Structure 1
Amino acid sequence: MTIEEEDLGDLSYTIPSSPDDISARLENDVRYLQVPDKVHYSPLQITIYRITSAISSFIFLSILMSLAILRSSIKKLTRGSTNKNSPNMRSPHKPVAPLSKAEKKLVPRLEYYFEIHGLNLLVYKITTDDGFILTLQRVIDPHEPEEITKKRKPVLLLHGLLQSSGAYATSGPDNSLSFFLHRQGYDVWLGNNRCGFEPQHAYLDESDPNMWNWNIYNMARYDLPVMIDQIISRTHKHNKVTLIAHSQGTTQTFLTLLAKNAIAYNHNLNDKLRCFIALSPAVFGGELLRTKNFIKFMNMLPKSMFNYVFGIHSFMPIMMHMRTVLVRTRVFGFLSYSMFNFLFDWDDSLWDKRLRTRHFVFSPVYISSRLMLWWLNNEDGFIKNSTTIFNFKEKWFDTHTPPIYLFVPGKDKLVDGEMLIDHFDRYETDLTEFRYKRIEHYSHLDVLWATDVIETIGQPIVEFLKELDEIDMN
């Protein structure tokens, strides 16, 4: 049974009543991260941007989708019947269990995929200091005694760009990190950044451009700290949280922890994080950002033109409308996979192909055009300026930074994990604990959905956490 908790109780983060309330509460906040200022557009400007972006986004998506389907069809024809893959790429010692009828269903409600395996997913609605209402979820065994549940140490799983918490669960009980960590005795929490599937704000309406005037800095400054605080407030026995993040979630976390930002100090995050585990860490851009034509197109657009093409509200909302209509069908999974494969050259060779459609049930999500502007266009953003935000030759962290563990896929061309490892080896000598693991046969999403993800990532994570526990005991 799904349990929703709307009563936030006596917590440090409550719903702001107005922008003035937010300003007052942030009076002593850090100022290094430059979050966007409030925007002002006339009704006519808003209407023009809505019309032009709706038309251009439809054309842009249609072109990409057509090319993706064409490429998929050509690959299928050229591969023929001589190269058909087995349902998955598991090692022989892990036989494939048949999927039940319940597991084969495509249900756009994450709780369902826990319930069919005897677990509950508690849903908490929490509010950031800038007014966004986030969804925080907690995996619970309804038959477990309360005293046992209280002993579990909290772990927060945070998703990447255009994804949601479902990314950590769609591989099912055998191959999902969320299920595995719960079996290993941890208190598993699933985080979702602002907007998600149902954008909610304390006082702003979806039609207001200010509700969409945010980027990665807002997520680092507001979303992550409130998640950590909420978890600690509800797990009274534990005062630290293990954070595991993927892709954009790692960018968000690294920005939060940068010593020069001081956010970690302002929110005492250095004292609240047990450690930080980064999957496919997105700090430096990879070669794919310099070679893909669709990225080149978005990158060359002046900011003023970007507003006309992609709008000043959510980024390409037509994708969400398509999801609403098609999400329960295999067509949606096929289209989503074809797009990902075409855009980023990722494939499903390491996934359980029976679950491929299910992986895309919980993506995409609503994000702001400003966020995509930061990733792919902005002069001050990731693609053009990531080495300035994260200066390779500067020390980022100090002795107060929690232990860090990087999992770097060898086939990941979206980000440059090797450059990140090189930086840590050269400059981050003050860290109390740092390690990394290269996974040569993995790509960007394989850290979530590969059939050997438990052996390759899950077990090393648990061993790392146990080592930290032993260090604390000594």
Structure 2
Amino acid sequence: VLSVSKIDPDCDYNITQLIQSKGYPWEEHKVTTADGYILGVFRIPHGRNASSSTPGRPVLLQHGLLDAATTWVINFPEQSLGFILADAGYDVWLGNVRGNRYSRAHVKFNPDHDEAFWDFSWDDMAQDDLPSMVYYILNQTKQTQIGYIGHSQGTLIGFAEFGNLSNDIQKNVSFWAALAPIAQVGHEKTPLKYLDTDSKELEKYWHKLFGRNEFLPASNILQSLGKFACGEFFFDRLICENMLLIIGGPDRKNLNASRVPVYASHGPSGTSVKNMVHFMQCGRSNRFQAYDYGSAEKNQLRYNQTTPPIYSIRSMKVPTAIFWAGEDWLADPTDVAYIFDNIESLVYEKYIPNYNHFDFVWASTANKLIYQDLINVMKKYHPI
């Protein structure tokens, strides 16, 4: 039993409070996609001790599955990539994809009442959310290129969109880094795989279990459970570690134990059931492919072909750095090998044997093992 004397105020802070409490400037922006989703995007224009308030070159940080932009600023300044990049001189932008706690809005649909709001998967995040954020940031900063750093699902939408030859976003991204990279997920080991079914009716199975709308939304109940079960007065290993490891990996040895209640109280941040079904489909097919509508007829209507299109990594030209791990249950090393076999724009890669999925954003050693290398290589392609 682990005893903690008092609640860490970071457990109850929202993202702007997390940023402000550490002494950094912040801005909140609303980015509207072509299909009407309103995304909450947050900016740290410069470091807390900057000699000039003039921002450096922009970098967009994109969170992972069931996460939010808080993940980049949830640790102390010398441990959080969002703060570290700002102090290094970059203009830091923290994105949120449709449906999470900071992007739960639409020009037409109400997320609490309209099923249509939740009719999306990571296809839409790649095709609409990512370019909308990139072009908004370039317009705001009057720059022509951006740096991009993704974690988990943030890498998935990067691989999908940057390799899409039907658009020209590649010329606007000078460099990107993939932390815990995902494309194929056929070998993932997370407990989520047990929510698969041998039936061809995967979509109906999930709808029966979870409905058609929101999956694991941010809620006061879950935040309180995380805060209390992970160390306010006691530590319940079964509850706390299961909350943290539903996606991540086998243990939390690389985390600062005193921060675990903070991590748990800020997640999960929600997504759509359809997005989770898409992940399940990709796990089953072991293909990096678009959403499967379940029949040749429906796919034909949507894609003008009877099967879901396959995304191409090989056609991606953006200089790419990959950081991957040995104990990552979602970005399994076997699946990461698919990326290495297909990528032609790799400029740097680093393997961390004892990291899991969340260590890339939360580990107390991430700055030493990952972030300094990341910044050094990014400066070559996207200098401050």
Q: TM over 0.5, yes or no? A: yes
Find the residue that maps to 1:203 and give its secondary structure. Answer: coil
| 1:456 alignment partner, one of 369, 377, 380 | 369
Q: Does 1:205 align with 2:110?
A: yes
| 1:130 alignment partner, one of 27, 32, 35 | 35
Shift in alpha-carbon separation, 1:365–1:388, aligned structure 2, 3 A = closer
1:137 and 1:190 in contact (8 A); partners too: yes
Q: Which residue of structure 1 aligns with residue 12 of structure 2?
A: 107
Q: Does 1:262 align with 2:165?
A: yes
Q: Which residue of structure 2 aligns with residue 445 of structure 1?
A: 358
**Which 10-residue stretch deviates more, 159-168 or 304-313?**
304-313
**Which 10-residue stretch deviates more, 404-413 or 134-143?**
134-143
Q: Which residue of structure 2 aligns with residue 320 of structure 1?
A: 219
Mapping of 1:193-232 within 5 angstroms?
193-197=97-101, 199-206=104-111, 207-232=113-138
2:247 and 2:329 in contact (8 A); partners too: no
Q: Which residue of structure 1 aligns with residue 305 of structure 2?
A: none
| 1:273 alignment partner, one of 139, 156, 173 | 173
Once the 2 structures are TM-superposed, how far is the Cα of residue 419 of structure 1 from its aligned partner? 4.2
Mapping of 1:288-299 within 5 angstroms?
288-289=188-189, 292=191, 295-299=193-197
Q: Which residue of structure 1 aligns with residue 303 of structure 2?
A: none
Write the deviation string for residues 203-248 of structure 1: whole angstroms up to 9, x where unpaired: 1122121111111111111100011011111112x21111000001
Structure 1 segments unaligned to the other structure (5+ residues) = 1-75, 77-83, 88-98
Once the 2 structures are TM-superposed, how far is the Cα of residue 322 of structure 1 from its aligned partner? 1.7
| 1:177 alignment partner, one of 81, 96, 110 | 81
Whose radius of gyration is greater, 1 or 2? 1
Q: Which residue of structure 2 aligns with residue 436 of structure 1?
A: 349
Residue identity matched to 1:239: T
For residues 394 and 314 of structure 1, the distance between their equivalents in structure 2, rounded to whole angstroms, comes to 26
2:181 and 2:322 in contact (8 A); partners too: yes
2:256 and 2:363 in contact (8 A); partners too: yes
1:108 and 1:327 in contact (8 A); partners too: no
For residues 230 and 208 of structure 2, the distance between their equivalents in structure 1, rounded to whole angstroms, comes to 28
Q: Which residue of structure 1 aligns with residue 210 of structure 2?
A: 310
Residue identity matched to 2:318: P
For residues 466 and 366 of structure 1, the distance between their equivalents in structure 2, rounded to whole angstroms, comes to 34
Structure 2 segments unaligned to the other structure (5+ residues) = 291-307
For residues 93 and 72 of structure 2, the distance between their equivalents in structure 1, rounded to whole angstroms, comes to 10
Write the deviation string for residues 164-198 of structure 1: whole angstroms up to 9, x where unpaired: 00111111112111111111111111000012215
Q: Does 1:413 align with 2:329?
A: yes
2:247 and 2:330 in contact (8 A); partners too: no
Of Structure 1 and Structure 2, which has the larger fraction of its residues in helix?
Answer: 1
Write the deviation string for residues 378-407 of structure 1: whole angstroms up to 9, x where unpaired: xxx32122425299x996334x72101100
Find the residue that maps to 2:133 and give its secondary structure. Answer: helix
For residues 172 and 210 of structure 2, the distance between their equivalents in structure 1, rounded to whole angstroms, comes to 38
